[in-house]
Amino acid sequence: MDRSTVTDKQTAAPTGQGNAAQRLATLTSWDADWTGLRVVVTGITKTGFSAADTLVELGARVVVVAASDDDDARRSADTLRIVGVVDVLLGAELSTQLPLVDGKPADLVVTSPGMRPAHPLLTAAFDAGIPVWGDIELAWRVRTRAGRKTADWITITGTNGKTTTTSMVELMLQAGGLRAIAVGNIGTPILDAVREPEGYDVLAVELSSFQLHWLQSVSPAASVCLNLAEDHVDWHGSFAAYARDKAKIYANTRIACVYNAEEPQTERMVEDADVVAGCRAIGFTTGTPAISMVGVVDGLLVDRAFIAERKDSAVELAKVSDIADLVPKHLAANALAAAALVRAYGLAPSAVRDGLRSYHSGEHRIQPVATINGVLWVNDSKATNAHAAAASLAAFDPVVWIAGGLSKGVDYDELVRTHGGRLKAVILIGADSAALRGSLQRHAPDVPVIEPGTSQTEMVHKAGGGHTEGAAVMTWAVAAAAEIALGGDTVLMAPASASMDQFSSYAHRGDAFISAVHGIMEGQAKAGKEF
Report the binding-site residues for ATP: 158-164
State the CB neighbour count (10 A cutoff) for residue 113. 22
**Which 8-state DSSP code applies to residue 528?**
T
Please give the Cα distance from 321 to 390 (Å, whole number): 22
**What is the three-class DSSP state of 382?**
coil
How would you label 258-297 residue by residue, b for 16+ Cβ within 10 Å and e otherwise?
Answer: bbbbebeebbebbeebbbbeebbbbbbbbeebeebbbbbe
State phi, psi for 520 to the nearest 5 degrees: -65, -45
Run of H or E including 523: helix 506-526
Please give the Cα distance from 501 to 498 (Å, whole number): 8
Please give the Cα distance from 457 to 379 (Å, whole number): 24
CA angle, residues 161, 166, 170, in degrees to nearest 5: 150
Where are the extended beta strands (E) located within 380-484?
399-403, 423-428, 449-450
C-alpha separations of 368 from 362, 415, 517 in Å: 11, 22, 11
Tell how strand 280-284 and strand 256-260 pair up. Answer: parallel
Furthest C-alpha separation in the chain: 78
Please give the Cα distance from 44 to 42 (Å, whole number): 7
Pick out the residues of the known binding site: 158-164
Q: Residues near 2 by Cβ (< 8 Å), separated by ≥ 6?
A: none
Where are the extended beta strands (E) located within 101-226?
108-111, 132-134, 152-157, 180-184, 202-206, 222-225
CB 338 within 8 A of CB 451: no
Please give the Cα distance from 186 to 206 (Å, whole number): 6
